[in-house]
Amino acid sequence: MASDNLFTVAAVRKSSDGTIKEFLFNESPRIFELGRTLKGDESAIAKINAVLGKNRPIKVAIDSKSNLINKIIAPSDIEVKEFLSKTLRLENPEKPKAIDLSKIDHSTFNIVDHYLKPPVFKLCTKVVPNYLKAKEIFDYCAQQSCNLPGPYAVNPCIPFQYVRDGCYARAHKMRWIITTKYHYCCEKVFSFANSGNDTLAVKASMWGGCCVTWWYHVAPLIRVVVKLGKFTFTQAMVIDPSMFDKPVPLSTWLSAQANTTCAPNAKVSMYSIQPGSAYWPANYAGTQYGTDNNYVSTDATLIAYQNLQTCP
């Protein structure tokens, strides 16, 4: 299924021989290349470069089953004006953190009071009281998956079965569930492959086993009280039914995106914990974010992807 999208350009990346190869957009985690009809078209590359890093969209035709750009179209003034009117930025975002997954201690990395201390955690204090409640939240979210027969408790359903794109919308809908149905704190965690030619790479084991690559990914992050013997601590856990069948520690979620059997350059460059209102990145550095406070973009994306599949 092909569709036209208004995107702002996050980055244009070159291959090792200096040839422009990859095109990254803030509004999609996919890593795009030019399709057959645009290969070697310098004017197409020039159109993308002209709006690189600017808050002005370009219209591209892409295919849901591939990461190819098939056509580049100049948006109308009305389309640009409407796009810009909806472009609201998150105020005072948290700073991203560079990470080397090979050097982290998984036994301590996820403990909120020991290692993870982003200021955003101070904005909300109602954390999930135990793992059983976290699993209940996860299961409720997973039951809203569009690949299940329904009926669904939320509208629209959440297309967890389409891992290639839409993580920002899935995460935002789950954030709505966690905060309005369960009334617990819910932040977002963003992962990035934004250094050199790094890529996030996962094996979509639950959806056919194919490999999926991104330049960023996002999911809801909850804080869960854990009791281990006489010790009690708060752990950062991620709710992501597109990748897992239960809540997982933050380090597990990050590590799963560095699957080198899917891509030799699979690596998480950095991660960032943001307020739940953060929707998608607004720049390549991961220092700015867009919002979708009325869930209009969220629901439109969920509807667009509800019948799509990850693997052929």
Tell whether 256 is covered by a domain.
Answer: yes
Task: Classify residue 312: in a domain, yes or no.
Answer: no
Domain that holds residue 52: 2-86
Confidence of residue 21 (pLDDT cuts 50, 70, 90): confident
- Structure confidence at residue 1 (pLDDT): 46
The answer to whether 164 touches 251, Cβ cutoff 8 Å, is no
The rounded mean pLDDT for the chain is: 94
The model's pLDDT over 284-306, given as tens digits with 9 standing for 90+, comes to 999 999 999 999 999 999 999 99
Backbone angles phi, psi at 225, to 5 degrees: -75, 125
Both 103 and 213 in one domain: the answer is yes
> Is 9 within a domain?
yes
In this prediction, residues 198-202 reach a mean pLDDT of 97
CATH code of the domain covering residue 168 = 3.10.620.30
218 and 114 belong to one structural domain: yes
Domain-ending residue, one of 36, 57, 86 = 86
pLDDT band at 3 (very low <50, low <70, confident <90, very high): low
Q: Measured between alpha carbons, how far is 25 from 36 in angstroms, rounded to an integer? A: 20
Closest among 167, 197, 185 to 30, alpha carbons compared: 167
What's the pTM value of the predicted model, to 2 decimals? 0.96
Indicate if 21 and 104 belong to the same structural domain.
no
Q: pLDDT confidence of 269, banded at 50, 70, 90?
A: very high
Q: Are residues 244 and 105 in the same domain?
A: yes
- Alpha carbon distance 243, 142 (integer Å): 11
Task: Please state the domain count of the chain.
Answer: 2
pLDDT of residue 89: 95
Binned at pLDDT 50, 70 and 90, residue 10 comes out as very high
Domain termination site, one of 23, 57, 86: 86
Same domain, 141 and 210: yes
pLDDT tens, position by position, 71-119: 998 899 999 999 988 889 999 999 999 999 999 999 999 999 888 888 9
- What span, in angstroms and rounded, lies between the C-alpha atoms of 165 and 145? 15
Same domain, 102 and 69: no
What percent of the chain is predicted at pLDDT more than 70?
99
Q: For residue 151, which phi and psi values (nearest 5 degrees)?
A: -70, 155
**Cα 139 to the center of its chain, rounded Å:** 20
| Residue with token string 């009809």 | 37
The pLDDT-based confidence of 181 (bands split at 50, 70, 90) is: very high
164 is a domain residue: yes
Highest mean pLDDT among 39-43, 191-195, 230-234 belongs to 191-195
Q: CA torsion, points 107, 113, 116, 117, in degrees to nearest 10?
A: -170
Same domain? 205 vs 118 = yes
Same domain, 178 and 294: yes
Element spanning 254, H or E: helix 250-255
Pick from 55, 86, 117: which residue ends a domain?
A: 86
Question: Based on the domain organization, do 11 and 144 belong to the same domain?
Answer: no
Contacts of 11 (CB under 8 A, 6+ apart): 22, 23, 24, 52, 194, 215, 284
Distance CA 60, CA 161 (A): 24
| In a shared domain, residues 81 and 104 | no
Mean pLDDT is lowest, of 162-166, 226-230, 241-245, 267-271, for 226-230
* CATH number of 22's domain: 2.40.50.340
Quick check: is 229 in a domain?
yes
CA dist 269 and 192 (Å) reads 6
Question: Which residue in 191, 189, 251, 193 sits closest to 222, CA to CA?
Answer: 189
Asked whether residue 76 falls in the same domain as residue 106, the answer is no
Whether 29 and 61 share a structural domain: yes
